[in-house]
Amino acid sequence: MQAIVNLSYLVSVILLITGLRRLSHPSTAQNGNIVAALGMGLAIVASLVTPISVGDDNYFIITLALIAGAFIGWTMSKRVAMTAMPELVSLFNGLGGACAVAISIIELYQYQELFSRKFNLFQQVEVSKHLTTQLAMFIGAVAFTGSIIAYGKLAGKIKDWKIPSAGIVNIALVVAIVGLIIFRVLSPDASFFLPMLILVLSLVYGVTFVQPIGGADMPVVISLLNALTGVAAALAGIVYDNQMMLIGGILVGSSGTILTIVMCQAMNRSLFNVIVGGFGASAASGQDAGEQVVKEATSNDVAIMLRYSDNVMVVPGYGMAVAQAQKTIKELDNLLSEHGVNVHYAIHPVAGRMPGHMNVLLAEADVPYPKLLDLEDANDALPETDVTLVVGANDVVNPAALDDPSSPIYGMPILEILKGKNVIVLKRGMSAGYSGIENPLFFHEKTRMLFGDAKQSIQSLIDEVKTLG
């Protein structure tokens, strides 16, 4: 039986890796999800049939938990709007951290029970496993409360506010937690109050760690928290000597870490800078904007420009997600393509509220993947672009990143859309982006503003283009 279980784990790992690989392309992502889910399902079944002593009552509780969890996950995933997908990802990620906390508490309680029975813990439990359990609880707790705060920020339920001396508070918490963990390992007969104190401090640190970070840095934070959840799961796998939990946690942790590094590179910022010096809604450009004039365009003006262009570049942002305009923009794309216009989409790595947000939305609208250009390819194509249509993007097209050393985003790689011949910005008003930084692009001589709901504005463009024949 153990041989069958080990073989099942091997097949599960292969399915998980294959699923992750297929998630890298929109055309195979849905299938990749199914493959990875099958791998995880097989791993769960294999764990349940492992030849160990599990009471019938435990199997009954496990079955109920599986059914309840599957029902809740299915219901939430079916009901969530695409605009709320980042929040859902944060919430599910936090639940992964909470699982690591729950099993760690159970294991630590069992260690304590050994002492109450006058056993020598060092003979019953390896010191390294005791340390691993506490680390799993610490990291899982940080991932849990940190993800909940990220969820609240993305959902607009928690405002950006600075914690006084946040850096000092966080350092003090980490030092205290690490010190208590070391003391607990060296004195395992200490009161059970000690691991509970470590848990409380870890939960608090998750809040103080994420809360000061600005909203514009949330994509990086989500990736980092995902990596932490993976590490917590891997540590839990060590505690239970479960190869699947260990490998699954390593895959999640490593992929989250790689994605975090990629996101930081896309913002030209170090991870330390994001955590310690994140910019938020209170940030502003250092240049004096003075009195500037916005040039407004009509739907007819923009439709004429689009219809008689050779190359059009669409720059999607979170505003497109809010307006649910992805399918409408695809309809405009189809219409222009029928008239011989080449339409492409410029995707910035940190556009939206989570990594790959824009890719997911455009894939939902059946936009062919070859039409999606990454940052470097889009910037290379922009000089030959007749019209750049900005749909709800802001910070990722802000030229202050190039020419304003006093700006918080100075040095961040952006889509250099002013290389193109004309820029049309679809926007409800003149409010700043998620980072709170004013965008001088709106006042540039190449820019025309088309105010209104993005979906309605694009629909009006479709109607106008149709009248042009």
pLDDT digits (tens, 9 = 90+) for 249-300: 998 899 888 888 887 877 777 777 666 544 444 444 444 445 577 899 999 9
The pLDDT value given to residue 275: 66
Q: Return d(Cα 182, Cα 62) in angstroms, integer.
A: 34
Strand order in the sheet with 422-427: 372-373, 342-346, 311-316, 387-391, 422-427, 447-451
Given pLDDT bands bounded at 50, 70 and 90, which one contains residue 51?
low
Residue 418 has pLDDT above 80, yes or no: yes
Given pLDDT bands bounded at 50, 70 and 90, which one contains residue 55?
low
Q: What is the DSSP letter of 449?
A: E
Question: What is the arithmetic mean of pLDDT over 390-395?
Answer: 88
Residue 117 has pLDDT above 80, yes or no: no
φ, ψ at 372 (rounded to 5°): -90, 120
The pLDDT value given to residue 139: 95
Q: Return d(Cα 350, Cα 371) in angstroms, integer.
A: 18
For the chain, the average pLDDT equals: 84
Q: First and final CA of the chain: distance in angstroms?
A: 71
Does the pTM surpass 0.85? The reply is no
Q: Return d(Cα 193, Cα 109) in angstroms, integer.
A: 11
Helix-then-strand count for the chain, H and E: 18, 6
Q: What is the DSSP letter of 158?
A: S
Residues assigned a catalytic role: 395
The pLDDT value given to residue 433: 61
Residue length, the chain? 469
Residue 348 has pLDDT above 60, yes or no: yes
Q: Return d(Cα 290, Cα 303) in angstroms, integer.
A: 32
Residue 401: other Cβ atoms inside 10 A: 22
247-281 burial, b if ≥16 CB within 10 A, otherwise e?
bbbebbbebbbebbbebbebbebeeeebbeebbbb
Residue the block writes with tokens 């002492």: 115
